[in-house]
Amino acid sequence: MRYRAVMRHIIPLIGLLCAAANLHAGDALYVNANIHTMDPSRPRGQSLLVRDGRIAAINPDPDDPALKADGLERIDLMGRTVLPGLIDAHGHLQGLGAFGIGRLDLSAARSFSDVVGAVRDRVARAKPGEWILGGRWDHESWPEKNLPTHAAISSISPDNPVWLRRVDGHAGIANAAAMKLAGITRTTPAPAGGEIIRDHAGEPTGVLVDNAMGLLDKALPDLSDATADQLLKAQEMCFSVGLTSVHDMGVSPREVAVYRQLEAEGKLKLRVYALVPSFYAMRYFEENGLYQGERLTVRAAKAYMDGAMGSRGAWMLEPYSDRPTDDAGKPYTGLAVSEPAFIGDLAAHALHRGYQVCVHAIGDRANREVLDAFERAAAESTRDTSATLGSSRFRIEHAQLLSPSDVPRFAALGVIASMQPTHCTSDMRWVDDRVGAERARGAYAWASLLRSGAIIAGGSDFPVESHNPFLGLYAAVTRRNLEGQPDGGWRPEQRVTREEALRMFTLSAAYAAFMEGTIGSLAPGKQADFIIIDRDIMNCDDAAIPHTRVLRTVVAGETVYPL
């Protein structure tokens, strides 16, 4: 009798222990939540069940005896807001990590003197001959708004080569020591698609634009040993602001190998959609095919059609309003950094091999040329492949300035517009100066694209802009800077709703990476990627959105922030 009585207590206890042992580490029931699911069939929820890294249910009954009996962790969110994990459809993880671990960040410089002072401080701590690398300076934020020259930097750093990229990544300034190592002199010709800025005497000022930066890049030291540390730092930074997935632009085959090693070691928690640079892409995908891992996907190529508007390298249909002619007196319309025929060849190859093509295009001429190249490649490929532009989900990255006649072509061709809302609020200060008020009507035309039926994938282009996606959400719905200017927003007819903005950074970004079936919304069966934040961004004041704090970031059911 006594034995049976004891066993009546022990057997249920053993069952509970076994059930607990079988629980996935992230299994939990989240209750008392304010959930925006982005699932059209059930847009709101109050509770969320996670099992085995996936969403098991939205709105399960928290009082269900079965849930109480199986040892689930129960987390009371006390009314806090839950969103799907946010996705940045255009970032540069290694660059973000490099600034995170100490590369010279000049984003706070409000004059060239500030830049010189920051370089002076870094030189004082550097070894003789050590390179001083940095970036994120923006001459449009300086009172004089002129591109700098190297003399002041060269005088304070005669022995340390200096290379500082502009905020857009499409120009940089080198000092005399760096130019000497790169072999850049007054007789050095600018490569096609690039420009060496020169003074009135014909001497290089140190500023190199677009393809001319390659002359300097060849002289840079090998920094490959830092790659893994930079990627892990960037991952940490992304989690802290609610990003659970990033489309990483321009990942070399060597960097793919680093990613795969981090994934194999279980260190890669962020979902990374890696794009291989176009000059590697054809051979890379012929030799390696597509890759789909647990956290890493490699199935896309990144190409460039032009430069950036800030450095006047974007390719325009008409000359720049504030630089109508070049140094030779010819109409100046920016730079084509690739031949349109190459974009067409890459697109045709991708249609046959099954990978995606994403092309950087900022100026109206660049966007038209890419759309034309995609259209030609699709027409030629229909003879011997079933692939279409729509099924291949080709993308234009940035699409910053569009001719009105090209806006409806995105939806008609099935081309995704991958856009970064904070570019608008950073650039609106000078866009009218660059292209004039009439052409500027087609700048950052989010609403026009959406109304035409196009899909917009949202991103930031970090570290060009902040990696904080709440700044992008704010910019998309207000078209105002963080000081709330201008009143009503810059060209407010292109503002989008909060739901449209959130979709850019969730479902649409997931679609742009062929992942809408697994991430981008909170629905049963999908990956349990979500964030818990300190305010309801769908209902708070506009001005409160940028100040949103992330309280918890969860990827596949695992809490990755805070740790």
The pLDDT of residue 298: 98
Q: Quick one: tokens of 108?
A: 């706070």
Print burial letters for 175-198: b (CB count within 10 Å at least 16), e (below 16). bbbbbebbebeeeeebbebbbbbe
Alpha-helix runs per DSSP H in 222-266: 227-240, 253-264
Read off φ and ψ for residue 273, nearest 5 degrees.
-105, 100
Q: Which fold has domain 224-521?
A: TIM Barrel (3.20.20)
Q: Going residue by residue through the chain (563 aa), what tens digit of pLDDT does each one get?
A: 344 443 444 333 333 333 333 345 689 999 999 999 999 999 999 999 999 999 999 999 988 888 876 778 999 999 999 999 999 999 999 999 999 999 999 999 999 999 999 999 999 999 999 999 999 999 999 998 999 999 999 999 999 999 999 999 999 999 999 999 999 999 999 999 999 999 999 999 999 999 999 999 999 988 777 899 999 999 999 999 999 999 999 999 999 999 999 999 999 999 999 999 999 999 999 999 999 999 999 999 999 999 999 999 999 999 999 999 998 899 999 999 999 999 999 999 999 999 999 999 999 999 999 999 999 999 988 665 667 888 999 999 999 999 999 999 999 999 999 999 999 999 999 999 999 999 999 999 999 999 999 999 999 999 999 999 999 999 999 999 999 999 999 999 999 999 999 999 999 999 999 999 999 999 999 999 999 999 999 999 999 999 999 999 999 999 999 98
Task: Report how far apart the first and last C-alpha atoms of the chain are (Å, whole number).
Answer: 50
In contact, 482 and 426? CB cutoff 8 Å: no
What is the enclosing helix (H) or strand (E) of 49?
strand 48-51
3-state secondary structure of 473: helix
pLDDT at residue 6, as a whole number: 39
pLDDT computed for residue 81 by the predictor = 98
- How much is the pLDDT for 381? 80
Lookup: tokens for 242: 């609610």
| Model pLDDT, residue 223 | 76
Give 114-127 as a DSSP string.
Answer: HHHHHHHHHHHHSP
User: What's the pTM value of the predicted model, to 2 decimals?
Assistant: 0.91
Query: Residue 457 is encoded by which pair of tokens?
Result: 């994938």
Give the pLDDT confidence score for residue 563 in this predicted structure.
Answer: 87
| Torsion angle defined by CA atoms of residues 472, 476, 482 and 485, in that order, rounded to the nearest 10 degrees | 160
pLDDT computed for residue 65 by the predictor: 85
CA atoms within 13 A on the CB side of 32: 7
Rounded to the nearest 5 degrees, what angle is found at the Cα of 167, between the Cα atoms of 164 and 170?
A: 80
Taking the CA atoms of the chain, what radius of gyration do you get in angstroms?
Answer: 25
Q: Which residue has the tokens 């290379």?
A: 163
Tokens of residue 521, six digits: 């919304």
Rounded Cα gap, residues 234 and 267, in angstroms? 12
SS3 303: strand
- Chain centroid to Cα 563, Å, comes to 24
Specify the amino acid at residue 170: H
CATH of domain 102-217: 3.10.310.70
Tell me 462's DSSP state.
B
pLDDT score, position 20: 36
Check residue 186 and give its pLDDT. Answer: 95
Question: Measuring CA to CA, how many Å separate 413 from each of 306, 357, 365, 380, 429?
Answer: 21, 14, 17, 14, 32
| 2-79 has CATH 2.30.40 classification | yes
Distance CA(300)–CA(37), nearest Å, equals 28
Torsion of CA 25, 30, 35, 38, to 10 degrees: 30
Q: How many CB atoms lie within 10 A of CB 435?
A: 25
Domain boundaries, the chain: 2-79, 102-217, 224-521
